[in-house]
């Protein structure tokens, strides 16, 4: 059914949604973005699914944008870039509004878009020792499309600690930022995720869905206007010289011209 994902639902109605590109550190390709959007719709409509657990195969949860996708964006026209950004935004919105509890099982590192997916989980449990970062500004870009979800999760004050600096941080700081609910030893991850999942299996599914919709209504507004603004902001970055320099430097394995020699 899916090329980049694996979906399994057990007898309790707990669906395990796995990003399945371990050789690419589960980086977000155009195909994975499309498949995640479809998977969210299918799981949301399936009455046999009570809870969804989102995780990744291999050492990384999600390394952010796929390198091939980034190269395509560099070469694309503004309309194509905006279309790609919109697809990512629609995927995040589909997961964010999933009418089932979404629990993140964060078994490894996450950067960029991976932080966005962590932010749309209702709770995320990560492993101690994992590393995280919103690294877009190192490339001359900004965490635009994921921004509304990151700020909704962390709050503005905490988001400002990591949103612009591209600083990599650890699991304990991810807990302090509100990105993770808990950080546990790798051997304790499944038990900690189970502890998050189990209470929902005693709840009325319809009431859970309504409660989730209500809490999102009461939280920060993430509507078409907000999404359109993030797409326009990202497209403007792609059009600027910094993005071209930053991405070119990345692929050429050299520091961009603005980088301090000691960084």
Six token digits for residue 57: 């195969």
- pLDDT of 36 reads 98
- pLDDT of 92 reads 97
Neighbours of 103 (CB within 10 A): 25
- pLDDT of 263 reads 56
Closest CA to 15 of 65, 63, 52: 52
DSSP-H helix ranges across the chain = 30-45, 67-75, 78-96, 113-119, 147-154, 156-159, 171-177, 189-197, 205-218, 224-239, 241-251
How confident is the chain (263 residues) per 10-residue block, as mean pLDDT? 96 98 96 97 97 98 87 80 90 97 98 97 98 96 96 97 97 98 98 98 98 96 95 89 90 91 63
What CA–CA distance (Å, rounded) separates 237 from 130?
29
Domain 5-192: state its class. Answer: alpha beta
Question: Which residue, chain included where needed, has tokens 């921004």?
Answer: 147
What CA–CA distance (Å, rounded) separates 167 from 214?
34
- CB–CB of 88/33 below 8 Å? yes
Q: What pTM was estimated for this model as a whole?
A: 0.95
């Amino acid at each position: 059914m899916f090329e980049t994902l694996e979906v399994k639902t057990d007898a309790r109605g707990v669906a395990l949604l796995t990003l399945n590109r371990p050789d690419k550190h589960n980086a977000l390709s155009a195909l994975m973005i499309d498949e995640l959007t479809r998977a969210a719709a299918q799981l949301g409509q399936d009455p046999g699914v009570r809870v969804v657990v989102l995780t990744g195969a291999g050492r990384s949860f999600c390394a952010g944008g796929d390198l091939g996708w980034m190269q395509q964006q560099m070469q694309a026209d503004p309309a194509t870039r905006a279309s790609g950004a919109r697809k990512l935004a629609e995927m995040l919105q589909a997961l964010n509004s999933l009418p089932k509890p979404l629990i993140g099982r964060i078994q490894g590192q996450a950067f960029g878009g991976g932080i966005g997916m962590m932010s749309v989980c209702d709770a995320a449990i990560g492993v101690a020792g994992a590393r995280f970062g919103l690294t877009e500004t190192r490339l001359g870009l900004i965490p635009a499309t994921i921004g509304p979800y990151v700020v909704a999760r962390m709050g503005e004050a905490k988001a400002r600690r990591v949103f612009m600096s591209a600083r990599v941080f650890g699991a304990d700081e991810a807990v302090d930022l509100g990105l993770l609910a808990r950080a546990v030893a790798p051997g304790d991850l499944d038990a900690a995720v189970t502890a998050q999942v189990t209470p929902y299996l005693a709840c009325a599914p319809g009431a859970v869905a309504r409660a989730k919709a209500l809490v999102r209504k009461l939280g920060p507004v993430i509507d078409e206007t907000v999404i359109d603004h993030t797409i326009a902001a990202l497209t403007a970055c792609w059009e600027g010289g910094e993005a071209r320099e930053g991405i070119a430097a990345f692929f050429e394995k050299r520091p961009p011209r603005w980088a301090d020699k000691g960084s």
